[in-house]
Amino acid sequence: MKKLSLLLLASFIIFSCQQKQEGGVKLSAKVDVPDNTKVYLSVLNEQAMPEVVDTVEVMNGAFEMPLPNTDFQQLSILRLDNVRGNIIFINENKPLHVSLYKDSLRSSVVKGSKQNEVFEGYLEHMKDMRKEMEALRKEMEALRKEEFSDPAELQKQIKEKRDLIAQKDTEIRKKIIQENPNSLVSILMLSDLVNMKTLPSTETKALFESLSKDAQESAIGKKINESFQAAAVAAAAAASTEVGAKAPEFSAPTPEGNQLALKDAMGKITLIDFWASWCKPCRIANPEIVKLYEKFHDKGFNILGVSLDRPGQKDKWIKAIEDDGLTWPQVSNLQFWQGPIAKLYGIRSIPATYILDENGIIVAKNLRGKALEDKIAELLEEK
């Protein structure tokens, strides 16, 4: 379950929380390290990187430090000089105590608040999942050494057992989220579920909506909500660009700075070609597109190139047009993947193509090579 641990840590890294400068509560600790050892308390800054907010020194095997006031719950990190590892805990404006073990910081337990109990329970669950995956790995390795008679059956067994472990993991995460609606731990676990796509989007959205308003409006909660909105936009784009749908209308600047609309670039058959000067596969494909244009343009075949070139790189776009001999109309908002046309069509990779009939209906998409040439010839013969 190493992947799960990495996902959890990734969630930590993207989390940040507003804080006030004065701490209202304190964290106290006992630790078996030499006096004057420095202890660092970090939180995540606006760039989502750990930033030290306080430093104290160990005296008589103990230390105490104030915790920043937080509007919700705050992921915090303790680190000691000359001691490997760190302690991750949750600050929720309550006094905390921790017994630190220098030889195993991960075994240290933070006490004094419910959220740290929830967090500790989740970490224990992660350890259990890792043990189950390791046991499965050893079991399957033993079977391989026995020269399992049916390799396909062995792979099937492995998949079934992995799926059972993954299902168990998902159900435990769901249970923790449902039982702790006002918890940073819940929002972090939900972020994992969203990233891993182990649940239908409708179910993860329902879990999100079951959380408290504070959890939903935390920094990570806002990111999850943004991902739901982006997914909804992508789904709408996918539906609107299926074969048989009318191609969404758009207009964008040409290299000369004029606005050109799709409807004004249409022919009997029109190819919308999404590409970019930085896209090597696109540039490799361009000579074939040039041949198609030269072969079929007089019969009513038009092309509209839509470039996903980066901001500030108009010169590279124009040079690529000239170098590749692209004589048909070109447009670009020069906004990379964030361009409005790319979003409208749900473009996730390029090259990408759409073939439209004279009414703007999408009749085929993402054809290349001979398949593209044959389709254009077939459609023009029908006219």
Q: What is the CATH number of the domain that holds 18?
A: 2.60.40.1120
pLDDT higher than 90, residue 95: yes
b/e map 364-375, b = 16+ CB within 10 Å:
bbebeeeebbeb
Residue whose token pair is 């006490």: 111
Q: Does a structural domain hold residue 2? A: no
Confidence of residue 270 (pLDDT cuts 50, 70, 90): very high
Give the CATH number of the domain where residue 297 resides.
Answer: 3.40.30.10
Domain count of the fold of the chain: 3
Same domain, 47 and 134: no
Q: What is the pLDDT of residue 48?
A: 64
Same domain, 268 and 360: yes
Pairing of strands 259-261, 269-275: unpaired
Q: Which residue has the higher pLDDT, 254 or 19?
A: 254
Report how far residue 21's alpha carbon sits from residue 91's, in angstroms, rounded to the nearest whole number.
Answer: 14
Q: Does a structural domain hold residue 244? A: no
Q: Does a structural domain hold residue 6? A: no
Q: What is the pLDDT of residue 13?
A: 39
Report how far residue 184's alpha carbon sits from residue 356's, in angstroms, rounded to the nearest whole number.
Answer: 49
Q: Which residue has the higher pLDDT, 56 or 20?
A: 56
Q: Does a structural domain hold residue 190? A: yes
Q: Does a structural domain hold residue 243? A: no
Same domain, 374 and 277: yes
Same domain, 202 and 269: no
Same domain, 266 and 371: yes
Confidence of residue 232 (pLDDT cuts 50, 70, 90): confident
**What value does the mean pLDDT take over residues 332-346?**
95
Q: What is the pLDDT of residue 105?
A: 81
Peptide bond into 351 cis (omega under 30): yes
Among 99, 114, 111, 121, residue whose Cα is nearest residue 29: 99
Same domain, 258 and 377: yes
Q: What is the DSSP letter of 74?
A: E
pLDDT higher than 80, residue 187: yes
Q: What is the pLDDT of residue 383?
A: 59
Q: Which residue has the higher pLDDT, 64 or 230?
A: 64
Q: What is the pLDDT of residue 46?
A: 64
b/e map 301-331, b = 16+ CB within 10 Å:
bbbbbbbbbbeebbebbbebbeebebebbbb
Same domain, 141 and 77: no
Please list the helix, strand and coil fractions of the chain in percent, rounded to the nearest 5, in that order.
50, 25, 30
For residue 164, how many C-alpha atoms fall within 13 Å in the half-sphere facing its CB? 9
Same domain, 372 and 256: yes
Confidence of residue 149 (pLDDT cuts 50, 70, 90): low
Q: Does a structural domain hold residue 45? A: yes
**What value does the mean pLDDT take over residues 267-292?**
96
pLDDT higher than 90, residue 381: no
Considering the chain, what percentage of its residues have pLDDT values greater than 70?
91
Identify the domain boundary among 176, 210, 238. Answer: 238
Identify the domain boundary among 196, 214, 238. Answer: 238
Identify the domain boundary among 82, 116, 150. Answer: 116
Q: Does a structural domain hold residue 203? A: yes
Same domain, 83 and 37: yes
pLDDT higher than 90, residue 8: no
pLDDT higher than 90, residue 363: yes
182, two tokens:
């006002």
Same domain, 139 and 45: no
Same domain, 194 and 285: no
Same domain, 272 and 362: yes
263, two tokens:
């409807």
pLDDT higher than 60, residue 227: yes
Domain residues for the domain of 172 are: 119-238
Q: Does a structural domain hold residue 369? A: yes
pLDDT higher than 80, residue 3: no
Report how far residue 63's alpha carbon sits from residue 89's, in angstroms, rounded to the nearest whole number.
Answer: 16
Q: Which residue has the higher pLDDT, 142 or 180?
A: 180
Q: What is the pLDDT of residue 4?
A: 41
Q: Which residue has the higher pLDDT, 132 or 152?
A: 132
pLDDT higher than 90, residue 248: yes
